[in-house]
């Protein structure tokens, strides 16, 4: 239970941060937030058991203090793309990153030019640009605006991640 996190949304549904499940319960019990999603986990005290929210929404709007820049790295590109090959949609253990415009053609290592790719697609594409390789991207790669995904804590239950997804997409 200590490792569980809840996603906190602003009153406008904008994702703000993750907080400990315990803190989320406190915000609910104080009436400062409302619960939006549950996934079956419970928070137990000596005398009671509460459904643990995976997503809460603040009742009052707060000004976002700052936006953290997500650093560009292979790991974060794979996270942005959910470890899914951006050419064939495949997922697998051997996920690589691919420069959409190849480096030998002055393609840069940027959020907009690097995507997750499975080994097969990476080999198939080689050093060719997309049109010559006859391949296309599932979606245009962008710099994530909201880097919450990059701090998703380890050991997070899949059911938690699923309940967060709809609030985090659109903020990628």
Residues touching Zn ion: how many (CB under 5 A)?
A: 6
Where does this chain touch Zn ion (CB under 5 A) — which range of 8-16, 27-35, 112-120, 146-154?
A: 112-120
Closer CB to Zn ion, 36 or 88, in the complex: 88
Where does this chain touch Zn ion (CB under 5 A) — which range of 21-29, 34-42, 75-83, 116-124?
A: 116-124
Closer CB to Zn ion, 88 or 130, in the complex: 88
Residues 61, 12 contacting (CB under 8 angstroms):
yes
Where does this chain touch Zn ion (CB under 5 A) — which range of 63-71, 85-93, 101-109, 133-141?
A: 85-93
38's CB contacts (< 8 A; 6+ apart) are 51, 52, 53, 54, 163
Q: Which of 36, 78, 88, 130 binds Zn ion (CB under 5 A)?
A: 88
87 binds Zn ion (CB under 5 A): yes
Output the CA–CA distances (angstroms, integers) from residue 123 to 6, 45, 117, 142, in the order listed. Answer: 40, 54, 9, 23
Q: Which of 118, 147, 148, 168 binds Zn ion (CB under 5 A)?
A: 118
Size (the chain), residues? 172
Residues that bind Zn ion (CB under 5 A): 85, 87-88, 90, 118, 121
């Amino acid at each position: 239970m200590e490792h569980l996190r809840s996603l906190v949304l602003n009153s406008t549904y904008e994702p703000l941060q993750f907080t400990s499940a315990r803190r989320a319960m406190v915000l609910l019990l104080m009436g400062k937030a409302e619960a939006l999603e549950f996934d079956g986990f419970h928070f137990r005290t000596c005398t009671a058991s509460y459904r643990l929210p995976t997503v809460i929404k603040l009742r009052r709007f707060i000004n976002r203090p700052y936006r953290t820049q997500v650093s560009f790295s292979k790991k974060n590109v794979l996270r942005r793309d959910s470890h899914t090959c951006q050419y064939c949609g495949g997922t697998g253990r051997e996920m690589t990153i691919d420069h959409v415009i190849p480096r030998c053609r002055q393609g840069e290592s940027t959020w907009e030019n690097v995507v997750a790719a499975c080994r097969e697609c990476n080999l198939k594409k080689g050093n060719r640009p997309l049109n010559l390789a006859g391949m296309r991207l599932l979606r245009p790669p962008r710099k994530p605006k909201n880097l919450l995904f990059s701090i998703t804590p380890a050991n997070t239950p899949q059911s938690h991640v699923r309940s967060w997804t709809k609030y985090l997409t659109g903020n990628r």
